[in-house]
Structure 1
Amino acid sequence: MLATPHRLRTSTDFSTTVRSGVRNGRRNLVLYTAPIAADEPSRFGFIVSKAVGNAVTRNLVKRRLREAAALALKTQGTGLAVVVRALPAAASADWEQLLGDFNAALSANRKRLGGTVPPRLPDRIGSTTTEGTLRA
């Protein structure tokens, strides 16, 4: 679970990030990223609709995406507002695929934002050590 300061909570936060940020789509997700003040903690929000699957499947996808966000916070703790929208393909994706899509989309968005974001993320965030805890 992400700590409260690292969560997007209101619909205004979500809509501002989606409308004013950059977007990058992958097979399993679409990631919207907007810069915020460099001294503010990075915040993440998740959109997982019923098109992804039943409640069990949606919650599994959300848990995996939250873990990917928690790993991203270790290297990018400030300066970003991120909304992750899971696509129906995420239901059948494993942890490695979701993490790879998340990292690739976040890296691409950071490049598109240019100098408006604090220090650069490494090419690969996290490792597979948490894989066993997130499998169905």
Structure 2
Amino acid sequence: MKKLRITIGDKAYDVTVETLESDPHTQPTAIRPAGPAPTIAPAPMKAAAPAAPKQALSRGSITSPMAGVILSIDVEEGDSVDDGQLLLVLEAMKMENQIIAPAASTVKSILVAVGESVQDGQVLVELE
């Protein structure tokens, strides 16, 4: 048992500390006065890699990037869509994620409905 005096602000407290376990591999550490934590300079940030070139897509399947719920569908089957046009909105982790057309195309089929739960990688819309 050790008796220690701890001072907090202007008030001193006498405490008794009991060592419960003794590990032969640990070394006693020096008691340091409380103070501000040492500051560590943040590591320099690396420049972001250039974005990969966008691939031309005239037809194919648009899949869900994550599990979520369909909030809205902004196109109908047979619609012509432009590159970057909003197809639908997916809510995941309380965030609304816009699913957009990767290229000018025609909506072949819509495989989900508003309010439906979808899984990561599930096909949402087919384009042609």
TM-score (norm 1): 0.22
Using structure 2 for the length normalisation, give the TM-score.
Answer: 0.23
Higher strand share: 2
**Which is greater in Rg?**
2
